[in-house]
Amino acid sequence: MTNLKIQAIGVPLDRIDGPKKVTGAATYAAEYHIDGMAYAFPVQSAIARGRITAIETEAARALPGVIAVVTHENAPRLASLSDARHVVLQSDAVAYYGQFVAVVVAETPEVARQAASLVTVRYEEQPHDVTLRFVRDDLIRPEVVNAGYATDTSSGDVETALAEAAVTLDATYTTPTYHNNPMEPHATIAAWDDGGVILYDANQGAQRIRDDVARVFGLPPERVRVISPYVGGAFGSKAFTHPHVVLATLAARVAGRPVKLALTRQQMFAVVGYRTPTIQRIRLGADGKGHLTAIAHHVVEQTAMIYEFAEQTAVATRMMYAAPNHQTSHRLARLDMPVPTIMRAPGEAPGMFALESAMDEMAIVCGLDPIEFRIRNEPATDPETGRPFSSRGVVACLREGAERFGWQPRDPTPGVRTDGEWLVGSGVALSTYPARRRPSSARVRLSPDGRYTVSLCASDMGTGAWTILTQIAADALEVPVERVRLEIGDSALPTAPIAGGSMGTTSWGEAIVVAARRLRATLHEKHGGVIPAEGIEVTGEADANPEAQQFSTHAFGAQFAEARVHRETGEVRVPRLLGVFGVGRVMNAKTARSQLIGGMTMGLSMALHEESVLDPRFGDFANHDFAGYHIATNADVGAVEAYWIDEDDPHLNAMGAKGIGEVGIVGTAAAIANAVYHATGIRVRDLPITLDKLLR
């Protein structure tokens, strides 16, 4: 692929959208005001499975200011019921606790909420099953797992290799339910007009939401417009169309007025997805010199009764380490629970916790330093496909990380290093995430005043897309960034993939480069380099990566952690996290560091704090707010350092970039768990690492 003339790319440019955000001028989904707007508040089911026998709405309707109370008894019929995630208020069936069973529309949000509390719903409750177990006779094999990966893989003879191995490990690791919990709660404003609808919505891809809403309501896609230029975090929870979007659109149609529906934090725990809990069994075999001979990774996770979602938890294991015998599998338990969804680094984040914990355990059994053990099992090519890696900086990341962290000299004996009342340990783990590119398009217009407008339906969730895409456009056009204006976050703009899967920059940026080069060629070939009075506008389309079938493309990294465990209380502190990553050419040094340390901090939360606690009696999460669902605060985070090696991957896109948004969280939890073991001699295989697991 042809490289760009690099000038703006890589510069630590301040966020272009920063001033608007800090001054309040950036408008988020719930902040739009539409004339005549009403407000909706949902009523949620109080059982996990059953049917509604009666809904009493008289008291709610009698409240002054109430416009409508919509239930399955009076809701308009939806045009499509093909996707159960979008079927709202269409029957008396209840499939999970917290399901929408009614919605109140009122003149003010306060009246809507009060009226919703006056709606009485009566149920015929049925027995429910909400508990994930590794052994059960009704596990199902999904056709594929998320992102289209094969459900199971197998090469060689794992069982024989394990039986003949000089050293073996057989261990089970678990991760709990996690909720994405972005800073900005989910919100949708729906306004019908002339047979179409405009949505102001918090999402990761306006065109996906547009297409879903069009299908559900039987509209041509051009009659639905979704606007979302600013998004306050998502972590995967805003990638898909959740029930509240359909409910807001339905409520607006019934009310005959624009309607705003802003979910509370508590409501988000039921209706906008979560990361499935996982139970993972890993078996490793090695010869007497520490070379892996067999890797087996088997995963059990959950999905909903109404819709199948299978996280790709074991996929990273297929390509991380060299071993002649591999086996991976995924099985699902269908439970009476809400539908799971993707969460930052889906698959890799929970899967690599298990794999990298097991690799640490295996290194100890083999009598090898954990870094040396990983290097000894570095594959020359992708173990699953046999393809060469487009670039693989694992060893460089490990070497540089070890030097920066001060890994040597390291006494491998656990529980011997102390600092007063604290036991001190260090741990390491690898990170990885696929480097993808999807078809995208972009429009570039050159105005008579010499300024460029670049337009495409990209999404910035706070990751820096506003800034990075401007830098890419400036270099592709060979002009200063001050002459480039970006338009994103509107489904009416040229087609682009969602912000997810660490493929936004790689996909959008390639389309911008294609359009920019086409415009420059048009300007010089047809106009002799002189801007015509009417300006010039061109559109460029970039296909999926044509080299994807020739190379295995991934981002990599190595993470190091220092853990301190109080010998009396079991309290855990992580004063140091350090990561070194191979992520292709970095587009903006400032936003890249922000993304990497943000991912690492989220990994710290995963290791020590985060856990959605299910009450099996009801199928509800007991800690459904920030008072009970703990995430890392400033007091929990010590020094977090992120670095990257010099890497330019020419096989992905014209910028030489890889996705950077997710690789930072992968491996962090394992590095911390490995450090806790080194500090205490106690191996915690079940996240989070809470003090009760260390008071032995």
Which residues have a catalytic role annotated?
Answer: 662
CB atoms within 10 A of CB 305: 17
Residues in the chain, how many? 696
Bridge-based pairing state of the strands 572-582 and 325-335: unpaired
CB atoms within 10 A of CB 466: 23
Q: Is 275 helix (H, G, I), strand (E, B) or coil?
A: strand
Residue 320 near residue 263, CB atoms below 8 Å? no
**Cα separation, 680 vs 150, whole angstroms:** 39
**Cα separation, 18 vs 263, whole angstroms:** 26
**Cα separation, 676 vs 564, whole angstroms:** 7
In 461-503, which residue ranges form alpha helices assigned H by DSSP? 465-477
Both tokens of residue 299? 């995963």
Q: What does the radius of gyration of the chain's CA atoms come to, in whole angstroms?
A: 26
Find all residues with CB under 8 Å of 552, minimum gap 6, and list them.
319, 381, 382, 385, 387, 388, 389, 390
Residue 98 near residue 270, CB atoms below 8 Å? yes
**Cα separation, 461 vs 230, whole angstroms:** 7
Bridge-based pairing state of the strands 187-193 and 196-201: antiparallel
**Cα separation, 690 vs 637, whole angstroms:** 16
Please, which residues bridge with residue 140 across strands? 332
Please, which residues bridge with residue 425 across strands? 563
DSSP 232: -
Centroid of chain to Cα 599: 10
Sign of the alpha-carbon dihedral angle for 391, 396, 398, 404: negative
Cα→Cα distances 581→249, 258, 429, 460, 660, Å:
43, 47, 12, 22, 9
Centroid of chain to Cα 585: 22
Q: Which of 107, 68, 79, 109 is nearest to 254 (CA)?
A: 68
Q: Which helix (H) or strand (E) holds 370?
A: helix 370-376
Q: Which of 388, 312, 297, 382 is nearest to 149 (CA)?
A: 312
Sign of the alpha-carbon dihedral angle for 420, 425, 426, 432: negative
Directed axis angle between helix 465-477 and helix 504-527, to 10°? Answer: 30
Residue 169 — φ and ψ, nearest 5°? -140, 135
Residue 431 near residue 667, CB atoms below 8 Å? yes
Q: Is 90 helix (H, G, I), strand (E, B) or coil?
A: coil
Residue 207 near residue 457, CB atoms below 8 Å? yes
Directed axis angle between helix 589-608 and helix 348-366, to 10°? Answer: 70
